[in-house]
Structure 1
Amino acid sequence: MRVLFTVSAWKGHWYPLVPLGWALQASGHEVRVACAPSQCEDLARAGLTPVPVLGEVDMVFLARLQNVWDAQAGRWPYAGLPPHPVTGAPMASLAEFPFGEFARESGTRLAGPTRLGFDAAVDLARRWRPDLVVHELLSMEGLLAARVLGVPAVLHLWGPVGTHEDEPGLHLRPEDPTGAFARHGAGELGPDLVEYVVDPCPGALRPRTSARRLPVRYVPYNGPGAAAPLAPAAAGRPRVCVVWGNSVTRMVGPQAAVLPAVVEAVAGLDVEVVLTANAADAAALGPLPPSVRVLEDHPLHQLLPGCAAVVHHGGAGTLMTALAAGVPQLALPCAMDQFVNARRLAASGAGLAVPAHRAAVAGVREAVAALLERPGHREAAGALRREVLALPSPLRLVADLEELAAR
């Protein structure tokens, strides 16, 4: 069987698909990944075969644009305005990004690359003739290619957000600004075109969708990297992991730069702190307390099983990796789908949520202390981990996909 993956130009979106790619290849199937050129190296390092034919959709611009729309609609929770979608500089007024500039920049950064990607995916599918297409939520090129060829398309979700979320401003599925679906005779792009979704979530965090679910165990992949030697946490002194990617500040602006407050809050407890950050982010914090250790480019799934709690920005990759490890979580959501992720996490009992714009040292410290001291959070996290492990493995999902393609 030939299986075509299509992915967007953001690693965190396609990382959850990697174990399925491994399982398909281990079962003797051919896998090719249509991608933007910027993703080639990382896909190859993940052990998959990239085909760099898709357009380079500027994901940071797309996120900043969504933030400007939210600010215009009164849904922006911060005192300051979001950064300028093009330059990333702080804006004093929403008028600094007028409609004319939006039309020009969206054509260059969104419409042009989107048209290229849709047409290239169809062309690749016609030449390679896949039996099945797997894509993620921000790569609808795969859905179009599958409909043109008349083969099944499967949307692989990356976390708790699905195809039919009804919260205002939560619109992660890209538009079809060039009418590619109609141009190729595939109807009109919309969530109801999605017939099958791979759902890696336990029931308490189940995403909303009208498609048929194909459940799968979430097998964490957070990129390649060697595991740094890390001794077990000292007896009676739990280890707390802090995860804060630099992409958050790029998309939301300086108001999302709450990492210093988080580090101060956690370091004030009798715990060992492990901070996963790049060198620039760590250097910006200045001198760190002796209880804080910085690990750069350390795969998160190798770190979390030894932790008593994790603090992060509510991104799906970190949240799902922590679920698989059974670690209680404090989510400090900043924007986009992070708020939904955090609310569903808190509702499950396996963690707490404090919006980043309300994250002060005292509140973060109190929340982390609650995760460490209240057994209910550990018990809920452990129950969710057992539920994750009980889901079908990617190898079992391969059998379901084989049957789907055969039908």
Structure 2
Amino acid sequence: MRVMLAVSDWTTHWLNMVPLAWALQAAGHEVRVVCPPFQTVAAERAGLVPVEILRPGELVTKARMHNHVNARSGHWPYAELPPDLATGAPVRSLDDFDPFGWIEENKARLIDVAVHNADAAVEFGRWWRPHLVVHDLMSVEGPLTARVLGVPALLTLWGPVGPDDEVPGVPGLRFLAVDSARAFARYDVGEWGPEAIEHVIDPCPPGVELPLRARRLPIRQLPYNGPGGWPTWLREPRDKPRVCVVWGTSVSSVFGQGSFPVPRLVEAFADLDVEVLFTVTGADHERIGALPAGMRAMREVPLHLLLPTCDLVVHHGGGGSTMTALAAGVPQLALPPGGDQEIIGDRIARAGVARVRHNARADAAWIRQAAADLLHEPEYRTAADRLRAQMAERPTPAQVAAELAELAAAGSPAAR
């Protein structure tokens, strides 16, 4: 069987596919990752074969644009203004940039990119003839190619956010990819939208599952956060609780430096008798500076190796951090800056496994009290253990790979 993975610009949106891809390859199936150029290294480091035929969809630029529109409408919670679309530096005044003018000036170029990507994916699909397509929420090329070929398409969730969820504050705008190239109409394969999704591979346990109109294929969350070694000191005995802080570099890039919480976290944890590990990469790592005793800044240690040794994780509400923490059975303190992180934060809070507050409203005093509650009130650990057990009961990637082979054989003209 040949399986095409279609992935979008954001690496953490498709890393959940990697263990399933390993299982497919181990079962003797061929897997190819159709991607833009800057996903090639991530795919290769995961032991997969990239097919570099897509152009960047500029998701970071579009997210910054969304923030500028929010700021102009008075819905911007940070002291610093949103980042410049090109440089990522804060703008000095909202009058310095016209987001609506930028959209008008760049509309044709962005549509050209979308048309190229749709046609390139379909052309590759017609040549390689995959028996099924697996894609993330922000990929429209994957379901398009599957529809053109008449093979099954399966959406893989990156966390507890789905095709029917709307962007907070923007009614009608979903996280599901938009068919701006009108490719579904051009190829005469129906319409694209949440109702067009037939199969969803879902790693979320029942406590945080979202409602789906599509067929749900449960899968066990086997976290993959990228390659890396396991430091020996993680296995050494410790005499105080360990807190892991993981902060996505994309947060500062999209929401600006005012969203960077490490100074507040250092202040909050200074009065608690805990060990703190900061896992922050890129430019954010350089901004941490000197840390007090008992706090350590780290690079490139995969989160799934750290969290089983921790008593609490602090993060931005991203799907990768959330799902890795759920699989490890660790209580969570989420400080979502906006977007899908707010939806994810709300769902894990309602499941009883997390304390959550918007990043812009979480001061050091609130963080300190929330962390103390999560560390010392047993109900959070009980909820985390329950969700971890529920995840362990779900089908393994190997079992789902076998189910996908049956699905392809039953529903794919290419497989017959």
- Determine if contact 1:227/1:298 at 8 Å carries over to the other structure: yes
For residues 165-314 of structure 1, the aligned pairs below 5 Å read 165-166=165-166, 167-169=168-170, 171-232=174-235, 235-278=238-281, 280-314=283-317
**Contiguous gaps of at least 5 residues in structure 1:** none
3-state SS of the aligned residue for 1:230?
A: helix
In structure 2, the CA distance between the partners of 1:34 and 1:279, relative to structure 1 (3 Å rule), is: closer
The residue aligned with 2:94 is: 93
Residues 278 and 165 of structure 1: is their aligned pair in 2 closer, same or farther, counting only changes over 3 Å?
closer
CA distance in 2, matches of 1:64, 1:279: 19
Q: How far apart are the structure 1 equivalents of 2:189 and 2:96?
A: 38
CA 352–98 in structure 1, closer or farther in 2 if over 3 Å, else same: closer
Show the counterpart of 1:46: 46
Deviations 1:280-322 (A, max 9, x none): 4333222211101122110100000000000011101000000
The structural deviation recorded for 1:79 is 4.8
Structure 1 residue 130 and structure 2 residue 130: aligned? yes
RMSD of equivalent CA atoms: 1.7
TM-score of the superposition, structure 1-length normalised? 0.95
Any idea what SS the aligned residue of 2:159 has? coil
Please, which of 335, 338, 348 is the counterpart of residue 335 of structure 1? 338
Find the partner of 2:376 among 373, 378, 382.
373
Matched, 1:60 2:63: no
Q: How many residues align?
A: 406
Q: Using the TM superposition, give the Cα deviation of residue 174 of structure 1 relative to its aligned residue in structure 2, in angstroms.
A: 2.3
Q: Which residue of 2 aligns with 1:159?
A: 159
Q: Secondary structure at the match of 2:190?
A: coil
Give the aligned partner of residue 28 of structure 1. Answer: 28
Q: Is the 8 A contact 2:64 2:255 kept in 1?
A: yes
Distance 2:307 2:290 in 1: 24
> Given residue 97 of structure 1, which amino acid in structure 2 is its aligned partner?
D
Residue 8 of structure 1 is matched in structure 2 by 8
Q: CA deviation at 1:89?
A: 3.4
* CA drift at 1:82: 2.4
Give the conservation status (yes or no) of the 8 Å contact 1:238–1:271: yes
Deviation string, structure 1 residues 157-180 (Cα, Å, up to 9, x no partner):
110001111454362122222211
Tell whether 2:103 aligns with 1:102: yes
CA contact (8 A) 2:12 2:320 kept: yes
d(CA) in 2 for partners of 1:382 and 1:112?
48
> Cα gap change, 1:44/1:235 in structure 2, threshold over 3 Å: closer, same or farther?
closer
Q: CA deviation at 1:235?
A: 4.8
Instruction: Give the 3-state SS of the residue equivalent to 1:397 in structure 2.
Output: helix
The one-letter code of the counterpart of 1:127 is W
1:402 aligns with 2:409: no
State how far apart, in whole Å, the 2-side matches of 1:292 and 1:347 are. 30
Residue of structure 2 in register with 1:393 after alignment: 396
Residues 242-294 of structure 1, C-alpha deviations (whole Å, 9 max, x = no match)? 11122101100122122211122123210011111126433322221110112
- Contact 1:332–1:353 (Cα < 8 Å) also in 2: yes
Alpha-carbon distance in structure 2 between the residues aligned to 1:207 and 1:72: 32
Deviates more, 1:90-99 or 1:286-295: 90-99
**3-state SS in 1 of match to 2:296:** strand
2:413 paired residue number: none
TM-score (norm 2): 0.93
Residue 242 of structure 1 aligns with an amino acid whose one-letter code is V
Q: Match for 2:240: what amino acid? A: R
Equivalent in the alignment of 2:414: none
1:350-377: CA deviation from partner (whole Å, max 9, x where unpaired): 1110110111111111111111010000
For 2:305, give the aligned amino acid: Q
Structure 2: gaps spanning 5 or more residues = 411-416
**Residues 1:383 and 1:94: Cα distance change in structure 2 (over 3 Å):** farther
SS at match of 2:233: coil
1:163–1:208: 8 Å Cα contact kept in structure 2?
no
How many angstroms apart in 1 are the aligned matches of 2:2 and 2:31?
6
DSSP-derived class of the 2:133 partner: strand
Counterpart of 1:102 in structure 2: which amino acid? I
